Structure formats: structure tokens, C-alpha cells
Structure 1
């Protein structure tokens, strides 16, 4: 698959201050936000989890020397990969993002770690709801884009095959029962009372078609995420998936990627899946005005429990301040990505509050290893020692964040609990830069603006800290998110050498945290044979084995 095919896939798994930005110290105060941000990044560790202090200004590389058991479990393989990734340092590891929402007090809703907004989960007496995000979408085709803002909109009307609880475990939705009938075969039992918005009954053939279409790289932006599906067929009313490999994450994948479509409707040339919707969800499309709003009304024929609001409208407000203003003014009932320093305004306003939750999104600085100086491990580790992540979390994010040490977040399958974050050690960073042979280098850190919580502020703080090294010059370059993504998904040699990005992980599995970035594909920005072999090995071991 060419790198540019999956541009929009990057959007999900993908708002000039320094680290002394104003802090209001609000995390955990007021509302129902927990925001305790207890990142442990100010301690010392040598990368293998034994807590041994680092030796100050030396050029010794972090190493990961643990050995895999003779017959490792899948979790052990993924944990080993995470440990190796910490030492190889393909990224500057920053933090787990907190999702902070502003919400009208008339709505009862608990924010989800996976960042999904399902209006059917709202408890409210309000008939009409308006939700404002930083961006809208480029298409209503549920496999034509793969971003959190897009799913939040189309998933009011479309439904995935399975869904997941708040701990990431698959739960029934359109599929009511699922089992692995052979090492490379799974069977899906379907609900028999599902109706499309046009009044037609859903069939097993529709579900098989939907899976096949989502898995087709010529028309689907999520094809690389579905799993190694060779064929989807119908057998005795069930859908059977023949797999080309074990695909241990197949059921988790079906909770996140692909949506149920009606085959005859999609194949009818009179219908336009990019601007129209015929789904099975609790809301049906009322109006779509490109770049302006998407409006839905309640679908009376929904198979499940009816949602409370009769209608819901999504709008896009790119700037953080105006989004909060819309909430306070009553123009929006729920807004995303409230900045920590805007929380006092929300708390003081009448009739609104905020909710926060640690998300499944990892924020990090990618170092493209086809470009100097990032092809050098010593230099990459130096960048990790140069950034005071905990100070960024404390001052810019007001403690709404947890420092990370590896690609897979805590609580996700394959996270290695024995790996410590890089401590802030600028003297050691300078020594490693000297060891790398790149002393005096000038580098540029590219950052989106407004896509993630205080993204540009975080990037500029990191760039300023790197720039404080005696032997490196670093500046930050604020970029339009869409333009930056286009560059990131060009050939690796043409991608920026150093950039901030966020990667959401709806499968809560280490494979999706690492494989897109470290194995061949459109997102790859780092190559290491041992790491790639570990990830391939993990794909051959069934879950639980």
C-alpha cells in the first residue's frame, strides 16, 4: 500500500510559549474532573526498570537487556518490544493525553477514555443538542476517513460490528456472539431485528459486504487496520471470516474499524455515500453542510434503546477559546479539548461544567530515522534526556497528563510496567550529542496547532528545552494539521524529520501502538529488524497464549 493512500487514517491514530506558561493549578479541583496527573517522570531509571540512578553527564546509552522466555506469551513479546522501543528511542516520549470536555449541566454523561462521543449515552431532558469539535469531517463515508472527529459524527447514524466497554473489552452490538472456530477462522452471529434508515432489514450479506469493503485498500482508509482477512462469507445466517494469519486482535479490530452498510444502497449509483447516510444507528441524517454542520434526527426504527435528545447537530470551531465561548453562551452543549487554563471560565459560568478522563491517545515527538541526525541512537536518546516532560505536564497541562516511557500506554495489552520514563538530564543529553557526532546541529520541530490539547505550546516548550543544550539549536514550526499530515504520509524520505503527533489506540493493544510506526507501511518512520521481528512474532500468537 502506498503511503499516501491512508492519509485520513493518520488523523485518528494520529489547539509561543515555553515551559513556564501560566499555570492555574486546577487539576482535580471542581466539577467532576479527576486530573491527578501523577506522572513519575522526575525519577531516575536506566531503562530496564531496576531503578538504578543514571550517572549524570556521561554518554552511556540506555539499554534493554532483558531476555524473552523460551516460549513467550503474546503479552511477553509485546512487553519486550516496548522495552526495546524505549532504548532505541524512535520518539521523544511525552505523555498520555487527557480528554477535557465542557458540558451543559443538563446533560449527564461520563467521558470515555477512547474519546468516543455517543449521544445515545447521554441522559438529558433536552430535545436538541449541539456538539462543537475542533474540526468536522471530509466525507460521510464511514471508511473514507479514520479520525476521532469523523467517528464522533458518523457514529450517530452508523454502527460498528462490535463495540467495546470502557475497559476496551469487546461487547455485543450488531454482532451478538463471536468465536474463533479455527486458528484462522472466526464466526459472527448477528442480531435479527436490525433495520436500515431506508426501512430495509439488515442481512448477513450486508455485514459480510461491509467487512469486505472496509478491508479493501482501494476504497477504504481503514483497510490496513481490519486484520488479515482473506474473505468474509455467509454461512447459515452467520458471517464467517477466513484469515490469512492468526490475527489475535481480530475482535478488537471489529469494535473500531468498519461500519455496517447496506450493500444494495452503496452499489446504487443514485446514492452518494460521501454526502448521504443509510445506517442502522439511533439517528438518521437530516442535513449535511460541508465545513459547516452535520445534523441528525432520531430514527424511530432503531433496534436498540432510543436516545434521549430528538436531534443532534455537530459544528466545527477550530480555535480553543471560541469553542469555550460557545459553551458558555449556550450555543454549544458539549465542546472538546478544553484547555486547562480555560477551566476557571467554565467553572465560573452558569449552567456548565467540565469532565476529564485519561484517554487512549499517546502524544510524542517522532524522529524520522532516514534523516540525520535522527538516524543515530545516541542523538535520539539525547533528545529524550533534553526534554523536561514532567515540567510540561505540570505547567502547560496543569497536571492533566501522565508521562510515558514507551509506545503502549499503561493498562493496554503489552504495556511493560518495568520501564521508567527518561529523566530530565540536560548534561547527559549534551554528552550523548557529542557522542553522536552531531554537535552544533540545527533542527526544526514541526507541530500541529489545535489538534491536540495545547499541542503547539507543548512542542514549543520541548523545542526551547532542546535549544538550551550547548550543542543543539532547535526551533518549533507551527503547521496546519491537514498540510502536516499530507507531508507525513509522503515517502518517508520526504516526511519531516522531527514532528509532534498523537496516536489514539481504540484496540487498547500494543500491536496497534507500534506496528504502524515500526513496520512497513504508510506510517513507518523507524526501522529496526529486531523490533519488527518481535511485532511479527506477536501477530502469530493467539490472544491469551
Structure 2
């Protein structure tokens, strides 16, 4: 069967440059050392300069919570990096503007074989990379081969998510310059959703071949903006791609700055030093809403904030202790008092936005007496348990990590568990948690955003035993759960697939695989004088339509 929104190829020549929608998403990999850095430079200020020949909007400044970790889309695992890449790269298919629905991207149309094992994509002609080379079938094949083939000449990894998203690909065939076929090892229900993630952003083969490992600092894609300069920890400067197939952006210069302090981001926005900020401090929402020059943006998202528990270490190897920790935390108070309603208390692995969310699962309501009882049954008295809790100072999707973690520390103290908090910079924190440091840690605060909007993105990554030791960082192992998740990955019947996830969710919740805290709402704020921007449930950022 064929999916398309345009006519077939014999009449596509009449419609080469039809508008097809926004760019796509992708939820790190550790920072590389090759890029230029400067600790003395200051974030760009709003100059309000306008290039009359190319733009109706001058310099546009975006403040994010953290810097990008890499410029190579295949290497990234955190949402702030994805947000940058979303403006630099294109994917074969992408999301519609307001929902997790597939729309054409670099591919104008595609075929799916009856057995679901072959996907043939028909590329739009005329799309160009920032270096002036053509986006063609060879570039598509190169992009995916370099990620999934560890023996590829240009496998400049690591590519942490490549196996999860693209490991089912058996072969990629170039049919002609603008037709490429993906042959899968097994039918995968979420394949098109995976292809819409910015992790699969198509890269310039010429640039990769010329730059080698330095490509991670000087990446070239085909998106609406091209990289001009990256000063680590200071700012990223992007220029409009004047030959962009979907029309050049109106922004003359895009500057993305990492500003980890919540109040500083808000102050810069109110002072006109920036135009768009993400992850608004809940205490600042009322003030922003009262400013006629600003617009507050919120949206529900498929985002879980959780505390990882090291099940291979005592005391969390004991189910009763894990359950006690879950009962000990007043999640409603955290959501209402700290997050000011910008979240929903979590009960299970999947947020209500997912098809596999089971409303009958009540989770662990606040019950400190029940927590104490379970600890006693497990053989622990007050003060017997002393654990370390590693948290980031700030970071992608982490809401209010210090305040939330401090509250959790206090709640656990109330039931007799001593907790020592260690705060770390975001990049160092990811290194600690993802690269083996978890073996010496008891708990860590993290979040997971399913950038595909598909249940599989959460469930397989966080709870399948096949994903140890990568993102299943707490070493949760249950053979029945892994089997259910494997079956759900290939099940194309909607109701059967949802039932499999619901069954797995019930087991995971009962076994308290982690401390489920809240489902975050996405927050952002921007100057009200510009239009053309909206939030997307994927939490990606597309500023290419601003001013249009």
C-alpha cells in the first residue's frame, strides 16, 4: 500500500516545492572535545537587526536549560540537543504540526509491502544540504548505514539509540537517485514513528567524509538552519538555509544559549535579551501571564519524571523496600507545591497520553505508615538504610530537579531512610548514570520523553531486560515483561498492542521498578509580537516558521 499526500511521481514534477509541514523530532551522549569553546564569551543579546534582503526577523535568541552535547543527530539522547538538531536536519518523514501523526518530509510518499517488511521512500528532488550537495538516496543510505553498521568506515559514534530505533533494518537499497528501500528483519509497528525522530536526521556524506570525527562539532544537514558557530557552554549560532526546500526562514540569525538558572532565563526574556525560553519556572508563570508583551505556552506531553533505583544493590534488591519508597513520597504535594500544577502525579510507566496507559492502575498513593510497615517487614529499622541520591543541577526535561529531589529526601527521612544528595552538572551527571557510575549509586533522578509518541519508546527502553545496561539503568529484569514488550513491538493490531502494554505496565508497577513521580507538562514562553511558533507534544522546537 502507498501512503502519500501528493500525486504519484509521474506528476510530482509539477509540484516539487509544495509546502509539507514542519520538521521532525527525535529522546545523552557525552560531549566531544573537538569543538571550539570559550568561557569568556557572553550569550548573544537581542540586536533586533534585520537583513532586509533575506529576512523580516532579525536575530532571534532562544534560551534552553542546557547546551547541546553534540551536533551529530545520531549521537544525541537528550531533548535540548534534539531541539537544536530539529532546526538543522530533515528526516524522511515528520510529524504533523500539532500531533504525533506522520507527514511527508524529505520523502514525499512511500510504499509499505503487504508483509510489512519493506518500506520504499520516494524523495523530493531539489532538496540540498548546507554544503550545496544534493539530498539523494545515497545520502539516506549513508546516514543509516553509518549508525547501525559498527564496521562502517564512517561509524563515528557512539550512537546510543541507533539499535533501538533502527536495529530492525536488515538492508537499505538504493533503487534510483531518489528512491530508497528499507528491508526489515521483522515487522515493526513503530517503524515509521522511529523514522520521524531527529536521531535519523539525514547528514551530508561529503561533510562526514571530510570532517571525520569532527563532524560531531561541525555537522551539516539539510534543515532550515545551518551551523555557523558553536561555543560550548556559551551559544550556538545558526544562519538561515537560503536554499531550503520548504522556504528559507524569516529569521536572519538564530542564537541558542544554554541558561541553566530558571530565574535568569525568565529575566532575560522579560528584559528583551531573549525571545523564547523553555522550561519555565513554575513560580514565574503568573508573572509572565500578566505581561502583555509575553505569551505563556503550556502543553501536556508524554514525559515521565522518575527516580531510578539500583535493583542490583541493597536495599533496592528487596521488592518491599522499593514499594516502601514509592508509598513514602507525596507526589501530589510535589506537583501542587513545587511544580505549581505543571505536572500530574504519576501512577505507572505510561502517561495518559499513551495508548497503553491503564486508568485502573492506582500506583502508590502517599501512605508513610504503609511505607514504614513494608520496611519493617523487610527487616529494616529506622536509620538502618543510608543511600546516596545523584541528581543534576538542571537538564533536559528535569523540571525542578533540586527542589523535587530535596522533597523526596525529606519524605524518605520521615520513614527512617537517610538520603545523601550529590548534585552534578548535566553532562557529568549523564556520564555518571549512563557510563557505569550507576554501579556505585543507589538512586538518581531522571526523566524520559518518548520523542516518537509511541509506547514502545518508553517501555522497551526503560524496562526490557534486553536494554540492560543502557537505558534500563536500574537493572530491572522480568522475563514475562520482556516477552510482552517484544510481542508488542511487532503487533500491528491497535487493541491487542495496547493490551500487551497495559499488562506489562501492571507488572512493572507492582514490582516498583522505579519511583514514578510525575508526568510533566511542557512549558515555554516567548515574546508576543511574533507569530509562527507553537509547541509540539514531542517537545521538539521548530522556529523555522516564525515571522511567516
- Report the TM-score, using the length of structure 1 for normalisation: 0.73
The equivalent position to 1:250 in structure 2, one of 191, 194, 198, is 191
The equivalent position to 1:152 in structure 2, one of 78, 83, 96, is 83
Residues 1:462 and 1:133: Cα distance change in structure 2 (over 3 Å): same
Q: Secondary structure at the match of 2:68?
A: coil
The equivalent position to 2:313 in structure 1, one of 364, 368, 371, is 371
CA separation in 2, counterparts of 1:330 and 1:494?
45
Residues 1:203 and 1:308: Cα distance change in structure 2 (over 3 Å): same
Q: Determine the structure 1 residue equivalent to 2:478.
A: 528
CA separation in 2, counterparts of 1:271 and 1:516?
27
Q: Determine the structure 2 residue equivalent to 1:114.
A: none
Comparing 285-294 with 370-379, greater Cα deviation is found at: 285-294
Q: Determine the structure 2 residue equivalent to 1:199.
A: 132
The equivalent position to 1:324 in structure 2, one of 266, 283, 288, is 266
The equivalent position to 1:516 in structure 2, one of 461, 473, 484, is 461
Q: Secondary structure at the match of 2:295?
A: strand
Q: Secondary structure at the match of 2:322?
A: helix
Cα deviation 1:111-130 (Å, max 9, x = unaligned): xxxxxxxxxxxxx9532200
The equivalent position to 1:230 in structure 2, one of 170, 182, 191, is 170
Cα deviation 1:410-447 (Å, max 9, x = unaligned): 12232223212321111111111112223332223222
Q: Determine the structure 2 residue equivalent to 1:32.
A: none
Cα deviation 1:54-82 (Å, max 9, x = unaligned): xxxxxxxxxxxxxxxxxxxxxxxxxxxxx
1:128-147 map, 5 Å: 128-147=59-78
Report whether the alignment pairs 1:445 with 2:377: no
The equivalent position to 1:240 in structure 2, one of 181, 188, 191, is 181
CA separation in 2, counterparts of 1:523 and 1:173?
29
1:97-112 map, 5 Å: none
Q: Is the 8 A contact 2:66 2:394 kept in 1?
A: no
Q: Secondary structure at the match of 1:232?
A: strand
The equivalent position to 1:187 in structure 2, one of 110, 116, 120, is 120
CA separation in 1, counterparts of 2:457 and 2:403?
27
Q: Is the 8 A contact 1:408 1:509 kept in 2?
A: no
State the 1:154 CA deviation. 2.5
Alpha-carbon RMSD = 2.5
Report whether the alignment pairs 1:455 with 2:401: yes
Q: Determine the structure 2 residue equivalent to 1:472.
A: 417
Q: Is the 8 A contact 1:216 1:223 kept in 2?
A: no
Q: Is the 8 A contact 1:168 1:508 kept in 2?
A: yes
Residues 1:423 and 1:266: Cα distance change in structure 2 (over 3 Å): same
Q: Determine the structure 1 residue equivalent to 2:110.
A: 178
CA separation in 1, counterparts of 2:280 and 2:127?
37
Residues 1:472 and 1:316: Cα distance change in structure 2 (over 3 Å): closer
State the 1:465 CA deviation. 0.9
Q: Determine the structure 1 residue equivalent to 2:17.
A: none
Q: Is the 8 A contact 2:29 2:70 kept in 1?
A: no
Q: Is the 8 A contact 2:226 2:241 kept in 1?
A: yes
1:312-461 map, 5 Å: 312-349=254-291, 351-439=293-381, 440-451=384-395, 452-461=398-407
1:289-300 map, 5 Å: 289-300=231-242
CA separation in 1, counterparts of 2:371 and 2:489?
36
- The number of residues matched between the two structures is 428
Note the residue ranges of structure 1 that are not aligned, 5 or more in a row: 1-5, 11-103, 107-123
Q: Determine the structure 2 residue equivalent to 1:503.
A: 448
Residues 1:128 and 1:492: Cα distance change in structure 2 (over 3 Å): closer
Q: Of the two structures, which has the highest relative contact order with CA contacts closer than 8 Å and spacing of 6 or more?
A: 1
CA separation in 2, counterparts of 1:437 and 1:260?
55
Note the residue ranges of structure 2 that are not aligned, 5 or more in a row: 1-26, 32-45, 49-54, 497-548
CA separation in 2, counterparts of 1:240 and 1:148?
29
State the 1:357 CA deviation. 1.5
State the 1:389 CA deviation. 0.3
Cα deviation 1:74-105 (Å, max 9, x = unaligned): xxxxxxxxxxxxxxxxxxxxxxxxxxxxxx9x
Cα deviation 1:361-411 (Å, max 9, x = unaligned): 210111111011111111111111110100111101111111121111112
Q: Secondary structure at the match of 1:127?
A: strand
Q: Is the 8 A contact 1:367 1:497 kept in 2?
A: yes
Q: Determine the structure 1 residue equivalent to 2:99.
A: 167
State the 1:493 CA deviation. 6.3
Q: Determine the structure 2 residue equivalent to 1:212.
A: 145
State the 1:162 CA deviation. 1.4
CA separation in 2, counterparts of 1:460 and 1:276?
39
CA separation in 2, counterparts of 1:353 and 1:426?
40
State the 1:7 CA deviation. 4.9
State the 1:272 CA deviation. 4.0
1:249-268 map, 5 Å: 249-256=190-197, 257-268=199-210
Q: Determine the structure 1 residue equivalent to 2:24.
A: none
CA separation in 2, counterparts of 1:543 and 1:306?
41
Cα deviation 1:496-537 (Å, max 9, x = unaligned): 221111111011222211212222331222111211121122
Comparing 370-379 with 474-483, greater Cα deviation is found at: 474-483
Q: Secondary structure at the match of 2:251?
A: coil
State the 1:188 CA deviation. 1.7
